[in-house]
């Protein structure tokens, strides 16, 4: 009898120790995150030199297309276009001399997804930009778009695009028009859903033999295990089925595919590079732009994945001590959580270690 109680006591003690360890680990990880900059939400266009200084003369208009779908039909979860995927490209285009107009399948005010953990000064500036706000609140219905008015089109991601981009008659006509006119077509994350089901005059798929990137099956299924029952299709599978040569990058890191006038990006962290590649394809050298803390974090993660922890740690030291750059520890910690979801506890430890190293170096600068 007493032996039984000792076993129960041992089990309860073990569980208590485990819970305490998890709580302490959570507290430690939270301490590695940068403190929220409350001033970020007050960012304005006039605060960002890249947007307002040395803007070249007018070069034409670019059309940004966002979804009108506000929920995922099966589970009813709210969706829309991703704010960061619109805002960042919007300002790259604007800073490089292009006016940006915003359209959607239905017109009017499209639904938007705002992830405050990913928001930076450009994103908050967009929210506080009265001109941008007017454009998003009054998006042009695609049926009213005159393709000849635009130099390029950019399909913004967001899970809603999986529902109202693939079979939209006006999107199909727009892509066919731009393709025949040799104009630039860009799309990011779930935005490439606009490219499927498009047949050219020769009845061949628009995507046949084209180099393409989009949100991958691995990225989708890790976050939404039942994605195949929620979406009409998995985007990577659909692109490949239509003859595309799919380029899969590292999960949740920057990846851009450039095939002539078609430029596609894998995920939200590909927006900056994609937008600047579109500017290049339009015949202009993109303005110099100071990379964001998040981009520095993405670069560290890329070096970790391709060259290992030691090289990533060296890069962190170089960036912070020698180049006086800041690194987003938030994105590194996010990748530690991703590692847990993938069952890779070793990588989780490495991510925490890299974030701690960055914090120690930044504290020494104070």
Alpha carbon of residue 240 to chain centroid = 21
Closest CA to 93 of 122, 116, 130: 122
Q: Where in the sequence is the domain holding 352, given as residue range(s)?
A: 291-366
pLDDT value at residue 365: 75
The SS3 of residue 68 is: coil
pLDDT value at residue 1: 46
CA distance 312 to 250: 15
> 270 with 301, same domain?
no
CA distance 352 to 313: 12
The pTM (predicted TM-score) of the whole model is 0.93
Mean pLDDT of 76-97: 96
The residue among 252, 281, 310 that closes a domain is 281
CA distance 300 to 316: 7
Mean pLDDT of the chain: 93
Using CA atoms, how far residue 346 sits from 19, 49, 357, in Å, is 20, 41, 17
pLDDT value at residue 21: 60
pLDDT value at residue 193: 98
CA distance 238 to 215: 12
CB count in 10 Å sphere of residue 295: 20
What is the tens place of the pLDDT at every residue in 180-195? Answer: 999 999 999 999 999 9
What is the tens place of the pLDDT at every residue in 265-308? Answer: 999 999 999 999 999 999 999 999 999 999 999 999 999 999 99
> 357 with 262, same domain?
no
> 267 with 155, same domain?
yes
CA angle, 62 then 66 then 67, to 5°:
160
Residue whose pair of structure tokens reads 């380029």 in the numeric block: 247
Mean pLDDT of 35-61: 90
30 domain residue, yes or no = no
> 220 with 365, same domain?
no
pLDDT reading at 212 higher than 90 = yes
pLDDT reading at 176 higher than 80 = yes
Pairing of strands 211-212, 245-246: parallel
Using CA atoms, how far residue 337 sits from 86, 118, 316, 330, 352, in Å, is 26, 15, 20, 11, 10
183 domain residue, yes or no = yes
pLDDT value at residue 72: 86
Binned at pLDDT 50, 70 and 90, residue 64 comes out as very high
pLDDT value at residue 211: 98
> 87 with 232, same domain?
yes
Binned at pLDDT 50, 70 and 90, residue 117 comes out as confident
> 244 with 181, same domain?
yes
> 94 with 225, same domain?
yes
The answer to whether 164 and 69 have CB atoms below 8 angstroms apart is yes
pLDDT reading at 75 higher than 90 = no
CB count in 10 Å sphere of residue 15: 10
> 63 with 170, same domain?
yes
The residue among 250, 281, 312 that closes a domain is 281
CA distance 292 to 53: 18
pLDDT value at residue 116: 86
pLDDT value at residue 76: 75
The answer to whether 304 and 117 have CB atoms below 8 angstroms apart is no
Q: Into how many domains does the chain fold? A: 2
CA distance 94 to 90: 6
* Whole-number percent of the chain with pLDDT over 70: 89
> 247 with 297, same domain?
no
> 183 with 141, same domain?
yes
The residue among 281, 304, 322 that closes a domain is 281
> 243 with 300, same domain?
no
> 271 with 309, same domain?
no
31 domain residue, yes or no = no
- Alpha helices per DSSP H over 80-234: 83-95, 121-127, 130-137, 161-164, 169-180, 217-223, 227-230
């Amino acid at each position: 009898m007493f032996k039984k109680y000792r076993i129960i006591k041992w089990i309860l003690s073990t569980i208590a120790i485990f819970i305490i360890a998890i709580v302490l680990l959570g507290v430690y990880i939270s301490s590695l995150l940068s403190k929220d900059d409350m001033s970020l939400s007050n960012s304005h266009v006039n605060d960002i030199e890249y947007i307002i200084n040395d803007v070249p003369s007018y070069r034409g208009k670019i059309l940004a297309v966002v979804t009108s779908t506000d929920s995922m039909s099966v589970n009813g979860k709210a969706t829309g276009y991703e704010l960061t995927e619109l805002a960042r490209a919007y300002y790259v285009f604007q800073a490089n001399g292009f006016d940006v107009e915003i359209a959607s399948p239905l017109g009017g005010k499209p639904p938007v997804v705002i992830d405050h953990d990913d928001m930076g000064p450009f994103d908050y500036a967009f929210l506080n930009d009265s001109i941008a706000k007017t454009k998003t609140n009054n998006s042009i219905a695609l049926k009213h778009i005159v393709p000849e008015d635009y130099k390029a089109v950019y399909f913004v991601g967001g899970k809603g695009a999986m529902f109202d981009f693939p079979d939209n008659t006006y999107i199909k006509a727009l892509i066919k028009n731009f393709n025949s006119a040799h104009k630039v077509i860009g799309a990011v994350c779930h935005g490439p859903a606009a490219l499927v089901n498009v047949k050219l005059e020769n009845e061949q798929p628009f995507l046949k033999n084209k180099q393409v990137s989009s949100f991958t099956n691995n990225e989708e299924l890790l976050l939404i295990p039942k994605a195949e029952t929620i979406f009409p299709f998995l985007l990577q599978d659909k692109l490949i089925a239509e003859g595309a040569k799919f380029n899969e990058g590292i999960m949740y890191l920057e990846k851009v595919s450039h095939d002539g006038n078609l430029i596609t990006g894998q995920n939200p962290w590909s927006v900056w590079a994609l937008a600047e590649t579109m500017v290049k394809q339009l015949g202009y050298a993109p303005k110099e732009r100071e990379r964001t803390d998040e981009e520095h974090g993405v670069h560290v993660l890329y070096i970790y994945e391709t060259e290992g922890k030691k090289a990533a740690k060296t890069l962190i030291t170089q960036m912070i001590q020698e180049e006086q750059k800041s690194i987003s520890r938030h994105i590194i910690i996010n990748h530690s959580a991703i590692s847990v979801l993938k069952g890779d506890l070793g990588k989780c430890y490495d991510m925490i270690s890299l974030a701690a190293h960055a914090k120690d170096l930044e504290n020494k600068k104070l």
